[in-house]
């Protein structure tokens, strides 16, 4: 195996320390030597560039793309070398053999390609083996989703507590996933059927995770009105389950009435850590989130799964109840009322499946109502969901820049895209600029231009901090004997170029990316190389 030498750059090693000058020898996939004046078979001249560890994405949904597109372009091009998948309670396993068609139908609502997929695995063990055999450019950290556990062994789409038999079955499924190599379990507590789960049920399942020294990841129950309550619930789950730690997904204060709540929430996280409860978070640098339009419905309207939801949307009495509860708010329902809090003009259509609504992409519901000549936004809302059979992705303009900065500068924050590593393709368009631009946006806008973070600290949040959180002892630092996941970028030009109007534009300034010692981006061009691994 030949040596690659990286020369003449500024090494920022991921510790948070200032840069220093040296050469790096890479051999057999690892960093073999860091010293001046090294010689090798191949040399990379990093003059005026920064050399740092590969970026670790703490929150992604790339697992749902890999069965169809394995190149991870939008991630690799921004320097992501490892991504955590199985987030928001949704993973690709376990899938009960009798629920395969149901899984394919639900997944195809937003990724139509799932209609024709041949699912050859059912258990998490079989899934890990499947992924291990796949050629991928980047590394994967697998997490098991609670929704999969619930549908495979619990109450499914019903709004009820599990029976003791179901709870034991779910515990066995979590155990099987952890023994197969899952790093933990995730939940997405705004999504049906996860919205129906009790805190106590999560704690019982998380105790199994704790027995394997795993982590609890969560898209918490509310990011708006009940944000503080939701964070406290999360901390309780971590504390009572005795998990090694907890990771709050894409922490934010969503909805103008709740802007500024990040200060209190970060204080609560600080206090939890002071008490010995290891709680951290991730976030992305955008003022819009991205989700499914169907999640704007009250929880009762989403009970029972796809067919039941479609029936209610076409029932005049149910539609009136939905309108009334969203408009007036229902305190007894623990849900995040996006429309009631933010209005239709903050919800933008990002992806649809039919030609009828294709011209609405990029417009908010109020604008679409005028464009389509509808009587009001409610008619647009219901017709969109019915015509698209629930398959409408939206971006939600609900966050304030000051909260974004508060969270970004917290000592407990890491970086997560909440996106997917995707190629540019008309078959499955990108729905949010975070898919392509998260890490370069922080380095360009928030480090270089606005000086919100020091470069060394930003890189630590992208590399050694998430590696430490995940327990990856041989990644996240530029250090001898570590795996050679490396990014070389120009600190004067690195920037995101993706926008809400053109979310699939790749960033600038990322010149080289190496994963497990192989160069996957060279002079800004992605190579057809697949050195990625499923990490254990």
The answer on pLDDT for 329 being more than 90 is: no
Tell me the CA end-to-end span of the chain in Å, nearest whole number. Answer: 25
Task: Establish if 172 belongs to a structural domain.
Answer: yes
- The stretch 298-316 carries a mean pLDDT of 96
Task: Establish if 95 belongs to a structural domain.
Answer: yes
The answer on pLDDT for 332 being more than 90 is: no
CA 292/CA 302 separation, integer angstroms: 12
- The stretch 121-137 carries a mean pLDDT of 97
- DSSP of 142-185: E-EEHHHHHHHHS-TTSSSPPPHHHHHHHHHHHHHHHHHT--EE
- The stretch 137-154 carries a mean pLDDT of 98
| Each residue's pLDDT tens digit, 390-438 | 999 999 999 999 999 999 999 999 999 999 999 987 778 899 999 999 9
CA 443/CA 491 separation, integer angstroms: 8
Task: Establish if 20 belongs to a structural domain.
Answer: yes
At residue 424, the pLDDT reads 82
248 and 107 in one domain?
Answer: yes
SS3 state of residue 257: helix
Given pLDDT bands bounded at 50, 70 and 90, which one contains residue 155? Answer: very high
375 and 416 in one domain?
Answer: no
CATH of the domain at 25: 2.30.40.10
Q: Which of 467, 458, 519, 516 is nearest to 488 (CA)?
A: 519
Task: Establish if 136 belongs to a structural domain.
Answer: yes
- The stretch 136-152 carries a mean pLDDT of 98
The answer on pLDDT for 333 being more than 90 is: no
Task: Establish if 43 belongs to a structural domain.
Answer: yes
CATH of the domain at 104: 3.20.20.140
Number of residues assigned to the chain:
536
256 and 305 in one domain?
Answer: no
Q: Kindly state the helix (H) or strand (E) to which residue 324 belongs, with its residue range.
A: helix 316-328
Total structural domains within the chain: 3
SS3 state of residue 34: strand
Residue ending a domain, among 444, 470, 496, is 470
280 and 205 in one domain?
Answer: yes
CA 225/CA 385 separation, integer angstroms: 25
- The stretch 225-252 carries a mean pLDDT of 98
The answer on pLDDT for 292 being more than 80 is: yes
Task: Establish if 531 belongs to a structural domain.
Answer: no
What is the DSSP-derived secondary structure letter of residue 123?
Answer: S
- The stretch 106-135 carries a mean pLDDT of 95
At residue 1, the pLDDT reads 60
334 and 309 in one domain?
Answer: yes
Residue ending a domain, among 362, 397, 432, is 397
SS3 state of residue 485: coil
HSE-CB at 512 with a 13 A cutoff on CA atoms is 23
485 and 435 in one domain?
Answer: no
Residue ending a domain, among 470, 487, 505, is 470
At residue 425, the pLDDT reads 77
276 and 209 in one domain?
Answer: yes
265 and 158 in one domain?
Answer: yes
392 and 405 in one domain?
Answer: no
| Each residue's pLDDT tens digit, 2-30 | 799 999 999 999 999 999 999 999 999 99
* Full residue range of the structural domain in which residue 29 is found: 4-52+477-526
Contact 140, 83 (CB under 8 A): yes
Task: Establish if 536 belongs to a structural domain.
Answer: no
- Sign, CA dihedral 189-195-199-200, equals negative
Task: Establish if 532 belongs to a structural domain.
Answer: no
| Each residue's pLDDT tens digit, 493-529 | 999 999 999 999 999 999 999 999 999 999 999 999 9
- The stretch 60-68 carries a mean pLDDT of 97
281 and 338 in one domain?
Answer: no
Q: Which of 503, 410, 420, 496 is nearest to 461 (CA)?
A: 410
Q: Rg (Cα) of the chain, in Å, rounded?
A: 23
319 and 193 in one domain?
Answer: no
268 and 136 in one domain?
Answer: yes
CA 81/CA 72 separation, integer angstroms: 10
Q: Provide the mean pLDDT of the chain.
A: 96
């Amino acid at each position: 195996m030949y040596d690659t030498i990286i020369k003449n750059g500024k090494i920022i090693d991921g510790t948070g320390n200032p840069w220093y000058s040296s050469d790096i020898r890479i051999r057999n996939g690892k960093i073999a030597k860091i010293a001046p004046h090294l010689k090798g078979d191949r040399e990379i001249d990093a003059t005026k560039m920064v050399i740092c560890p590969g970026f670790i994405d703490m929150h992604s949904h790339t697992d749902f793309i890999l069965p169809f597109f394995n190149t991870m372009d939008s991630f690799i091009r921004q320097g992501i070398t490892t991504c955590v998948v199985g987030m928001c309670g949704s993973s690709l396993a376990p899938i009960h053999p009798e629920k395969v068609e149901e899984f394919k139908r639900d997944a195809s609502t937003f990724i139509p390609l799932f209609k024709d997929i041949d699912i050859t695995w059912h258990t998490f063990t079989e899934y890990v083996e499947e992924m291990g055999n796949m050629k991928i450019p980047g590394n994967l950290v697998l997490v098991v989703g609670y929704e999969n556990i619930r549908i495979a062994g619990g109450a499914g789409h019903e709004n009820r507590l599990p029976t003791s038999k179901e709870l034991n079955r779910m515990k066995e499924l979590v155990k099987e996933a952890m023994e197969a190599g899952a790093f933990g379990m995730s939940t997405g507590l705004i999504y049906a059927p996860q919205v129906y789960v009790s805190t106590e049920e999560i704690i019982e399942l998380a105790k199994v995770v704790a027995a394997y020294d795993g982590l609890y990841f969560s898209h918490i129950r509310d990011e708006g009105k009940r944000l503080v309550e939701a964070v406290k619930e999360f901390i309780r789950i971590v504390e009572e389950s005795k998990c090694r730690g907890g990771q709050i997904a894409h922490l934010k204060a969503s909805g103008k009435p709740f802007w500024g709540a990040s200060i209190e929430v970060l204080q609560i996280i600080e206090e939890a850590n002071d008490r010995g409860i290891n709680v951290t978070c991730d976030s992305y640098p955008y003022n819009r989130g991205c989700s499914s339009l169907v999640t704007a419905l009250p929880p009762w309207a989403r009970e029972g799964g796809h067919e039941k939801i479609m029936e209610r949307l076409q029932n005049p009495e149910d539609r009136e109840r939905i309108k009334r509860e969203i408009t007036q708010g229902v305190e007894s329902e623990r849900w995040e009322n996006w429309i009631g809090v933010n209005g239709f003009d903050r919800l933008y259509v990002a992806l649809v499946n039919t030609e009828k609504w294709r011209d609405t992409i990029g417009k908010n519901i109020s604008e679409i109502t005028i464009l389509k000549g509808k009587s009001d936004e409610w008619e647009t809302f219901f017709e969109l969901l019915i015509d698209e059979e629930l398959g409408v992705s939206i971006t939600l303009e609900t966050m304030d820049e000051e909260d974004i900065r508060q969270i970004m500068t917290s000592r407990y924050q890491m970086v997560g895209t909440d996106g997917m590593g995707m190629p540019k393709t008309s078959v499955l368009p990108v729905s949010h600029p975070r898919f392509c631009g998260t890490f370069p946006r922080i380095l360009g806008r928030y480090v270089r231009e606005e000086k919100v973070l020091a470069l060394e600290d930003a890189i630590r949040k992208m590399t050694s901090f998430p590696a430490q959180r995940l327990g990856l002892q041989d990644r996240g630092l530029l250090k001898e004997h570590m795996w050679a996941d490396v990014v070389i970028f120009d600190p004067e030009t690195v920037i995101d170029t993706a926008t809400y109007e053109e979310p699939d534009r790749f960033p600038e300034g990322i010149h080289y990316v190496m994963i497990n010692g192989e160069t996957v981006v060279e002079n800004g061009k992605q190579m057809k190389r697949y050195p990625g691994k499923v990490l254990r």
